[in-house]
Amino acid sequence: MKKTLWALISLLLLLAVSGCAVEEPQQTTAPPVEVQTPYEAIARQPQYQGVALTMQASWQRADPEAQVLLQAAAVFEKKTGAQVTILWPGEGAAVPDDDAVVDIFQISAEDFSGMRSDYVLNLTQMAEQADYDAKSHPVLRTQIIGQWGFLGAVAQTPYLGGVYYNADVFAQCAPAELPQSWDDFLKLCQSLYQSGWQPLTLDQQDALLATELHLRRSIGAGEIQRLMGADGHWYDDQPAMAALEQVMHFRQAGFVATGTPAEYPAGQNKMALSNSAMMIGTNQDCADVEATTRTDLNWGVFPYPGSTGSGTWMSADVLVIHRDTAHAQAAFDFVMLLATGEFDQLRADISCGIPADPANASPIAGAMEAMEAAEPEPLGLLGSNQLDVSVKLWSGWYDDVGRYASRLESSK
Q: Give strand pairing partners of 379.
A: none
- Looking at the predicted structure, is the pLDDT value of residue 41 above 60? no
Q: Which distant-in-sequence residues (6+ apart) come within 8 Å of 319 by Cβ?
A: 104, 105, 106, 107, 153, 154, 155, 156, 335, 338, 339
The CA distance from 222 to 226, in Å, is 6
The CA distance from 5 to 286, in Å, is 9
The CA distance from 365 to 194, in Å, is 24
Q: Note the residue count of the chain.
A: 412
Eight-state DSSP code of residue 134: G
Burial 367-400 (b: 16+ CB within 10 A, else e): bbebbeebeebeeebbeeebbebbbbbbbeeeee
- Looking at the predicted structure, is the pLDDT value of residue 22 above 60? no
Eight-state DSSP code of residue 365: B
The CA distance from 242 to 306, in Å, is 12
For residue range 281-340, list pLDDT tens digits in order: 999 999 999 999 999 999 999 999 998 878 888 899 999 999 999 999 999 999 999 999
One-letter amino acid of 12: L
Average pLDDT, the chain: 88
pLDDT recorded at residue 97: 61
Over range 378-385, report the average pLDDT: 92
CB atoms within 10 A of CB 50: 8
pLDDT recorded at residue 253: 97
The CA distance from 257 to 357, in Å, is 36
The CA distance from 333 to 349, in Å, is 22
* Choice between 44 and 324, residue whose per-residue pLDDT is larger: 324
∠111-114-118 over CA atoms, to 5°? 105
pLDDT recorded at residue 249: 97
* Choice between 30 and 178, residue whose per-residue pLDDT is larger: 178
Q: Which of these ranges, 16-30, 84-98, 176-190, 246-260, has the smallest mean pLDDT? A: 16-30
Q: Which of these ranges, 57-61, 64-68, 95-99, has the smallest mean pLDDT? A: 95-99
Q: Give strand pairing partners of 154.
A: 319
CA dihedral 301, 307, 308, 311 (to 10 degrees): -10
3-state SS class at 313: strand
Q: Which of these ranges, 18-22, 119-123, 226-230, has the smallest mean pLDDT? A: 18-22
Instruction: Specify whether the backbone of 145 is left (phi greater than 0), alpha (psi in -120 to 50) or beta.
Output: alpha
Q: How far is CA 267 from CA 57, 263, 271, 288, 378, in A?
A: 30, 7, 8, 12, 24
pTM over cut 0.85: yes
